[in-house]
Structure 1
């Protein structure tokens, strides 16, 4: 702890020295600079980003469109200390190394998502591509007080573009030569009357993937997505406004992203696979999503009463087959197959009410209450078709899981403006959660002795209290420093899709986090410098790890883990024609205590025998790093705007994003389960008229075609004739031509 405190203090001191050293140049350049202030709502009020005492990053809607960011995995490349674990459509977001593993589908996410103020705790609720957005706010560290529900690691708020009071529209289309596909997006917005404005936006994606399936001769995954959003803003008076949003998404993805490789040597990732349709049908994902919200603001004198009503629904089905062919395998193609399917559906209703006091007072506050209820159903179909010297097996099992959840919370935040420069902010949230669930199964055909059929049911009630306190001080008009202490929590729950689950193993406990953080935000004309240092600790960390010996997942709670690090973003805007943004983060994250952990690949059998329950029960991997986490991550973005003539402009944006190496397998295999560090290069070159009413652009992502795997697991003998590693290949190079008009 002493070493960590010294790290925190030295980080703040170093940052203060850096800001001081650069201030002279910044002030000299200020007269030639320009700045676009970013307004955020991270504290439930509109504030300048530079005034918010939180380690956060904002990706604007314009930047999202320019860089071709379609989802959270794309966006993570531009936000340090944020990573996305790629799996078969159940991707997981990690902030500062903490997230909820994708193997157990019923996990609430440790990084909560909010879509226009509506809580979205499941990745399926946000499968649709990004489009027509105002901004995405990424808040790192526990946000339990104001955001509340399940924000133990952080929160991400997606804010869509609002209706406009003047008529406008756009249409943009692109064709990708690597993916043999296209995207079309557009919007129209404007007034219907003096008090009513509306916005209609849509997007269509149709591409053929980046992995050649040698069994079918087609590329995988073939993706078709359609998304439409309608927004209406009613402002009948200066004291009241109401915004209604309805967003519908549909996707149909054919084929998967898994590629097979050796389990005894470093991976040689290839854009090829060999997989015919499984016994359960064509591999892929199909799904529909619906998110609707109504937000009302009522002025009560100097106070504002806000109501947010939300409804979210999705229906999804995923079919997985697993690539059973190594490149040029001895003896040719195997006939064994392993397959599963996960149909699921979900609906949620939520209601939040809050009252905000006026600003500019000695004492300011926000108080509120939140309620939600949800129903979740998951089917699991799992089968084997195995014929080898060790096993002759054919069968299919079906398990089904039902869960009902209801939660209620009250919260408040108060700000004491002790002086014109010094503020103290205190927050508190109390949450009560009820859950009940059942698990059952049936054998559809075959003897299937490899997987036991079990039943389980349970009920649980929880009460969590999440406080935070922050001290914020303005050194001058350009520099703000802050220090904060906060706690977060994520509710416990039930194991949804592990064969052999019984009442004794059905439930897992809530996880809790605490965060100590200090930071500095400085703006000197042409230069913006934001740095934060933190120490975050999790207790009862929820985990679900794959045991290749038994080919099952172990789901439960690790005792504790901690992450210590530093995050920084520097922006240089010496003129309107050029700007550079550089972000860098470092973290050291370890298990502090993890008894009963599955064996790591580096542990000898004498230390941990994966086939022995007693050996696993006695295993403790304290001191081991967490998987899917890089020590270093960051990006450098450079943008240049050049007027070619009075009628034409050239815009060029280049981005290099990077991560250091990390274990991408649960058992942390140094052979097949380690992703080496990498850098990926993106480029956009755009030609437009002076008013940007039309544009023509080249958009390239991952220009050097750096192949990386978001996660990997070992498929063992005798499930397959030859033990092999199965890698989830992340998107390869994309080269597209884009054209667009605005009117």
Structure 2
């Protein structure tokens, strides 16, 4: 049935686009995209940064629920979806999830609150106003840990007028329901509020023959309450509190042969309750923010107070062994408080500036529990490790824009950051024989760094702006949190630093109906933090790569020829590779004569300079077409279709040419909706991955004796899904 619905949806969308264009043929201009990438509201076309903006309407059209869906709309972005958390890569750079204590190289900010860990916002796309994706280091204004880029999520806020929406959806392929809605409006003349909720309950897409369930099964309960207090034009205060309870049972793991190309299973046969713990990933998080703006003379003072907390527990089981021979369980708890203060100058003067200070403190606790019964019971037992970390960050920052002439601007930015961390790691044997080494480690670090940037911005015409940027970004060092065998000498890894050269043109053409932006960049990372799975020792190895670089071109195209039709397209080319990585673990595609994984001296002499960065495609691109047509005075037909292309990339840390290459693909999403213009109801059919492309976001080899049947484990992305959605706005 879903195949028939998908074909009908594609055909109907194409017909609607073709026949309805003349119905609403008034010429119009594109809506201005207002962003806050430079800590003040600006038109995206005035911001000298390579960036993409995904609106809440686009997110709703394609039923995007998380960052993994977002990558279909933004070039040079890859999101790895694992049980641990989503990990974002921009221009080929990101922080692999293997070391849980990693701060991310691509930082996420939600309503101004820094999130260095994906679990802080487990379901980020929920009642969203817009998402800003900033490519390249953003060391000055976004500051903490943004050497590769930043993603800023702005949630919808309270409104001065009463409004609301309720929506329900049923997914035919995942046999699940989703209910969401919000209500917003004034409580008094100065106070307004908004309450948004979401409930999700759906099955997975991989049948587990052993348990009878379709994995991974997902349940989410989300709520966000917002208050805005505006006693005068000079003061506004917005407070938001969000709670998330997300539970995933089972995993999206399928199996393939380890030594030769062959069929990958389409089902699972895994223990659903390994060693007495259900195979699951559970995350409960609470996040709050208070953003206050005060007029002071002709300036604006902004304070951003943040709180973020989550506790999580993940249990993994692998291969086809029932009962399981090996499993791991990882409980986590994280807490962070932060405070930022900014002073913003007025615009329209010769020197415009923003200066500020930021501080945060966090604690992080991680347990790593192993249970095993291998080699016919001769190696059986339980052991675990405990990791604790406390961290403090202080920073001062500023950016000044000197308007040399009406058309020429010089922008200088600088951020000083001090980071202090303490870490402790201990391993314990709980029962039986140890399967991994019993070790302990202690460490502390104190780092400070300066991240400057210089930008030249010039208006070639009223419609075309040129910019050139030099900038640096940094990410703090840290500790190895969950690799058994860690000792003092391997416990600490160094900070990573990036340098970026970039130039671009932003143009608004055809009386505002066309936006065309193009940028070129050259980014280099030094001491790139990496955590690579080594199947020869069945462990992740965390270290600093000496140097890596990414060079490429990015383009964004928007076109609205008539009121009823909007076209969005973007594309990118990148060449991301290691320039120098001495002492790297052996790649699977290296012959033994070049690197012998059984010989420590061979590994020490190994250098994978020239190898591409894992998870990086040379080519990415997308095309989205949205159309609205008036069928009668009361009824409107809306249609949208999106295509996302990505060329091949390595999805295994060891870059195996047998099982670690994801071939290039194009995914197609579409939406067809019928709605009433005045009463606000709408019924929509939404299809995702309509051509049913099978793609894998991570692959690794699990060897014996961790499993009786060595197999390649591949994390399978969602197949084709079709859902029916009904909504009512009031």
Length-normalised TM-score, structure 2:
0.95
Deviation at 1:244, TM superposition (A): 0.5
Is the contact between residue 712 and residue 728 of structure 1 (CA under 8 Å) also seen in structure 2? Answer: yes
Instruction: Give the Cα separation in 2 of the matches to 1:195 and 1:671.
Output: 63
Q: Residues 59-98 of structure 1: matches in 2 within 5 Å?
A: 59-98=54-93
Instruction: Give the Cα separation in 1 of the matches to 2:172 and 2:319.
Output: 26
Number of the residue aligned with 1:257: 252
Q: Residues 301-700 of structure 1: matches in 2 within 5 Å?
A: 301-324=297-320, 337-387=325-375, 392-448=378-434, 450-524=435-509, 525-691=512-678, 693-700=680-687
Residue range with higher mean Cα deviation, 506-515 or 392-401: 392-401
Is the contact between residue 415 and residue 424 of structure 1 (CA under 8 Å) also seen in structure 2? Answer: yes
Is the contact between residue 336 and residue 721 of structure 1 (CA under 8 Å) also seen in structure 2? Answer: no
What secondary structure sits across from 1:505 in the alignment?
helix
Deviations 1:578-602 (A, max 9, x none): 1211111110011010011010011
Match of 2:128 among 123, 133, 143: 133
Is the contact between residue 181 and residue 208 of structure 1 (CA under 8 Å) also seen in structure 2? Answer: yes
Deviations 1:7-28 (A, max 9, x none): xxxxxxxxxxxxxxxxxxxxxx
Residue range with higher mean Cα deviation, 276-285 or 358-367: 276-285
Instruction: Give the Cα separation in 1 of the matches to 2:696 and 2:334.
Output: 29
Is the contact between residue 319 and residue 707 of structure 2 (CA under 8 Å) also seen in structure 1? Answer: no
Instruction: Give the Cα separation in 2 of the matches to 1:288 and 1:48.
Output: 36
Instruction: Give the Cα separation in 2 of the matches to 1:730 and 1:644.
Output: 37
Q: Residues 185-204 of structure 1: matches in 2 within 5 Å?
A: 185-204=180-199
Deviation at 1:473, TM superposition (A): 0.7
What secondary structure sits across from 1:342 in the alignment?
strand
Instruction: Give the Cα separation in 1 of the matches to 2:483 and 2:358.
Output: 32
Instruction: Give the Cα separation in 2 of the matches to 1:692 and 1:89.
Output: 43
- Cα gap change, 1:543 to 1:738, in 2 (>3 Å): same
- Cα gap change, 1:604 to 1:526, in 2 (>3 Å): same
Deviation at 1:611, TM superposition (A): 2.0
Match of 1:278 among 274, 292, 305: 274
Is the contact between residue 269 and residue 708 of structure 1 (CA under 8 Å) also seen in structure 2? Answer: no
- Cα gap change, 1:300 to 1:729, in 2 (>3 Å): same
Instruction: Give the Cα separation in 2 of the matches to 1:538 and 1:129.
Output: 28
Instruction: Give the Cα separation in 1 of the matches to 2:25 and 2:207.
Output: 52
Instruction: Give the Cα separation in 1 of the matches to 2:326 and 2:630.
Output: 58
Residue range with higher mean Cα deviation, 257-266 or 48-57: 257-266
Does residue 729 (structure 1) correspond to residue 716 (structure 2)? The answer is: yes
Does residue 292 (structure 1) correspond to residue 288 (structure 2)? The answer is: yes
Instruction: Give the Cα separation in 1 of the matches to 2:262 and 2:684.
Output: 35
What secondary structure sits across from 1:63 in the alignment?
helix
- Cα gap change, 1:628 to 1:153, in 2 (>3 Å): same
Instruction: Give the Cα separation in 1 of the matches to 2:263 and 2:88.
Output: 26
Deviations 1:431-473 (A, max 9, x none): 000000100011112212x410100011110001000000011
Instruction: Give the Cα separation in 2 of the matches to 1:213 and 1:365.
Output: 58
Instruction: Give the Cα separation in 2 of the matches to 1:552 and 1:268.
Output: 26
Deviation at 1:261, TM superposition (A): 1.0
Deviation at 1:393, TM superposition (A): 2.1
Instruction: Give the Cα separation in 2 of the matches to 1:691 and 1:666.
Output: 54
Residue range with higher mean Cα deviation, 461-470 or 522-531: 522-531
Deviation at 1:614, TM superposition (A): 2.0
Instruction: Give the Cα separation in 1 of the matches to 2:262 and 2:304.
Output: 48
Instruction: Give the Cα separation in 1 of the matches to 2:728 and 2:179.
Output: 12
Deviation at 1:508, TM superposition (A): 0.2
Is the contact between residue 573 and residue 618 of structure 2 (CA under 8 Å) also seen in structure 1? Answer: yes
Instruction: Give the Cα separation in 2 of the matches to 1:720 and 1:617.
Output: 29
Q: Structure 2 regions of 5+ residues with no counterpart? A: 1-23
Does residue 208 (structure 1) correspond to residue 194 (structure 2)? The answer is: no
Does residue 55 (structure 1) correspond to residue 45 (structure 2)? The answer is: no
Aligned residues: 704
Number of the residue aligned with 1:22: none
Deviation at 1:394, TM superposition (A): 1.6
Is the contact between residue 55 and residue 130 of structure 2 (CA under 8 Å) also seen in structure 1? Answer: yes
What secondary structure sits across from 2:275 in the alignment?
coil
Residue range with higher mean Cα deviation, 402-411 or 81-90: 81-90
Instruction: Give the Cα separation in 2 of the matches to 1:102 and 1:348.
Output: 20
Is the contact between residue 26 and residue 562 of structure 2 (CA under 8 Å) also seen in structure 1? Answer: no
Number of the residue aligned with 1:720: 707
Deviation at 1:628, TM superposition (A): 0.9
Residue range with higher mean Cα deviation, 698-707 or 98-107: 698-707
Is the contact between residue 319 and residue 711 of structure 2 (CA under 8 Å) also seen in structure 1? Answer: no
What secondary structure sits across from 1:32 in the alignment?
coil
Deviation at 1:223, TM superposition (A): 0.5
Number of the residue aligned with 1:8: none
Deviation at 1:144, TM superposition (A): 0.3
Is the contact between residue 210 and residue 732 of structure 1 (CA under 8 Å) also seen in structure 2? Answer: yes
Instruction: Give the Cα separation in 1 of the matches to 2:181 and 2:27.
Output: 35
Instruction: Give the Cα separation in 1 of the matches to 2:127 and 2:330.
Output: 31
Is the contact between residue 495 and residue 529 of structure 2 (CA under 8 Å) also seen in structure 1? Answer: yes
Number of the residue aligned with 1:19: none
Q: 4+ residue stretches of structure 1 with deviation over 4 A?
A: 333-336
Deviations 1:62-111 (A, max 9, x none): 11112111110011111110001122232210000000011000000000
Instruction: Give the Cα separation in 1 of the matches to 2:142 and 2:183.
Output: 31
Instruction: Give the Cα separation in 1 of the matches to 2:340 and 2:213.
Output: 47
Is the contact between residue 257 and residue 264 of structure 2 (CA under 8 Å) also seen in structure 1? Answer: no
Instruction: Give the Cα separation in 1 of the matches to 2:690 and 2:373.
Output: 40
